[in-house]
Amino acid sequence: MKIGFIGIGHMGEGMARNLMQAGHQLTIYNRTRSKTERLRAEGAAVADSPAQAAAAAEVLITMLADDDAVGAAVLNGYPGQPPAIEGLQRDAIHMCTSTISVAMSRELEAAHKPRGQQYVASPVLGRPEAAAQRQLWLIAAGPQPAVERCRPILEALGRGFSVVASEPWKANLMKLGVNFMLASLLESIGEAFALVEKAGADVRQFLEVMNNGTFRSPLVENYGNRIIEKRYEPAGFSMRLGFKDVRLAMQSAIEETVPMPLTGLLSDHYLHALAHGHGELDWSAIAEVSRQAAGLTKTLRAGG
């Protein structure tokens, strides 16, 4: 299949490589062109604009940081570089794998429709290492024929996928719900660790008891060890992006008139971290906000 791929960052490079290894023909684009060099050396064509990346694509994939980045690449373009929507052919599919707002997902669907283009939302669950190892889980939503055409791509990108709805925005809402729960988990781990540490008990032993006795979760184990060892750099998923996703969950809660009081607490803690210049640390460093509040540290720490 001929695929355009926009966004060769921490997540995008591994995803694009897996598609190439599955036999798909890729044309890639990234604003920082140097990030495309490894994939170019492996056989990918490199486009000079989002529109050029989309021009020959049966499916255009975007993996970008937020609403603004997706809107610029797909709808508005950059100075001297037309947007992807102007290059994408009629009946081609835009498959957006980014974590974006429900509003942006609806805007993309509305923009593609009059051009005869299809839109599928397929945000991904997993960190960059999962993307590189084809261990992502994808949440797909869109018109059934379009989703079915994307099946070979979904299968090449991850260990599995869920098709959740014919309306693309519902996949984005579900992704925001998952990330809200992950942020809440990290917050609760951080608070519990701060209590155990300040009381003089063994935090690593607490993690072992908590996980082996109750959760039995690789996620809890991996994040718990990352927090204990202060492995916040390089970030697999940054505080800045965590703050963005919590705010998007809050926005959806307001739109649906659903009280979600934890979003306010999480938003304040991420904003605290950003205000102290720690936006590029891994989002598990939110645990350091609880340590700071408990008087265990004077500032958020970036290393061990």
Task: Assess contact for 58 and 1: CB atoms under 8 A.
Answer: yes
* Beta-strand pair 124-125/136-141: antiparallel
Burial classification of residue 229, based on how many CB atoms lie within 10 Å of its CB (0-12 exposed, 13-18 middle, 19 or more buried)? exposed
Task: Specify whether 170 is catalytic.
Answer: no
Contact 279, 238 (CB under 8 A): yes
Query: What's the CA gap between 11 and 131, in Å, rounded?
Result: 6
Residues 6+ apart with CB under 8 A from 44: 5, 16, 20, 26, 27, 28, 36
Secondary structure letter of residue 89 according to DSSP:
P
Q: Of residues 175, 198, 230, 298, which has the active-site annotation?
A: 175
Supply the residues annotated as catalytic.
175
